[in-house]
Amino acid sequence: MCGLEWGRLYEEYHTKAYNPAKVSAEVKKLYGDPYVKNRKGIFEYILGGSRDTKLLDVRVFDDATKKSVYASQTKQAEAKNKSNCLLCAVGHDANRSKIWKLAEMDADHVSAWSKGGGTNIENCQMLCKTHNRAKGNR
């Protein structure tokens, strides 16, 4: 717990009421979670309502997984003449049939990590960077 900006955290969150037992259980759970890379962010993440997963720097999919998902998504997309970004493909603008390069896409958890979704290939989908950002870092 060293190095936290307690002053700022206090200013920002002291007006809300928290259940200490619940917070403590949540902290423990996240400390034990191998996907959480930034443990200093755990407290603020919880105080902020467990929404901003950026604070935790959740471990992302590795390159092999991304490449493999990208390859299969792109193959399917090309066969249907649709975008390889699943959200572009259902859109109505020029991007609906755009094939993005791997570097233009980011991996996304199909089922949200914060709701228990795993960081494994079955739970990985590639979205263009714009859509991935729009969806938020869940």
- Chain residues that interact with Zn ion, rule: CB under 5 A: 85, 87-88, 128, 131
Q: Which is nearer to Zn ion, 37 or 80 (CB)?
A: 80
Residues contacting 67, CB < 8 A, separation 6+: 102
Please, what is the minimum distance in Å from the beta carbon of residue 91 to Zn ion? 7
Task: Give whichever of 55 and 131 is closer to Zn ion, judged by the CB atom.
Answer: 131
Minimum CB separation from Zn ion for residue 62, in Å?
22
In DSSP terms, 106 is beta-bridged to 127
Beta bridge partners of 105: 128
Q: Which is nearer to Zn ion, 42 or 85 (CB)?
A: 85
Tokens at residue 99, please? 């094939």
Q: Which is nearer to Zn ion, 85 or 124 (CB)?
A: 85
Report in angstroms how near the CB of residue 30 gets to Zn ion at its nearest: 30
Q: Shortest gap between Cβ of 100 and Zn ion (angstroms)?
A: 7
- Plot region of 56 (φ>0 → left; ψ -120 to 50 → alpha; else → beta): alpha
Burial class (CB in 10 A: 0-12, 13-18, 19+), 40: middle
